[in-house]
Amino acid sequence: MRKNILITGASSGLGAGMAREFAARGANLALCARRTENLEALKAELAASHPDIRVSIKALDVCDYERVFTVFRAFRDEFGTLDRVIVNAGLGKGKSLGTGYFYANRQTAETNFVAALAQCEAALEIFREQGEGHLVAISSMSAMRGMRGNITTYAATKAGLAALAEGIRADVLGTNIKVSTIFPGYIRSEINEKVKNTPFMVDTETGCRALAKAIEREPAKACVPAWPWVAVGFLMRHLPLKWVARMG
């Protein structure tokens, strides 16, 4: 069992939901995010529900790249080891390119890719020193193809993260460092709370339970929940772009 788990973007949504799931499985948790008041509340909740685990929290804006390394190392020193790092922090801002929203698309690109790169670098430094560990990159089903409109940049960043994770996996083949890329489908969270009437949407608890279960298998790649997203992923990769565009 991976005992000490670090989760970024843990103050709400999928990050907080996965923290609850791994706490129920007996894991110690290193949780970081910008909103420390949410982390404090989550820590109190988990301490009350699971008094036998350790929960540590730290403020972290993942776009403060140097602090990413500082926080990850501090958690490692506190727990002794980091057994799994879940790169989860993300942003969903964006508009069609050329419509005056470069600032929003840039923020999404920096948070979802450059900051994710920093998190992967920080995790891999620790794992290489330890000689083992499990890196988990939370991508998105939108990474399967180029998407239109509001999620063009978001989808591109998540595709970039998936490619980054696969490159890391190739780099550490034959070692005790494992890398998993997770492609969540529609799971209700803060990032999509305003989206209505979405097919196949599952609630946060159901989705996070499926995420934790998939992560614990340590697959190279996984679409979550498996149904219907494995089938949807196949269609997204093979249908003509004009059909895929209707999914955006």
Q: Which residues are catalytic?
A: 154
Q: Tell me which residue of 152, 53, 69, 52 sits closest to 112, measured CA to CA.
A: 152
Cβ-based neighbours of 199, under 8 Å, separated by 6 or more: 186
CB 212 within 8 A of CB 21: yes
- Quote the CA–CA distance of 180 and 22 in Å, as a whole number: 16
- Quote the CA–CA distance of 130 and 76 in Å, as a whole number: 10
- Quote the CA–CA distance of 172 and 123 in Å, as a whole number: 13
User: Looking at this protein, which amino acid is placed at residue 70?
Assistant: T
Residue found under tokens 């050329």: 98
User: Looking at this protein, which amino acid is placed at residue 229?
Assistant: W
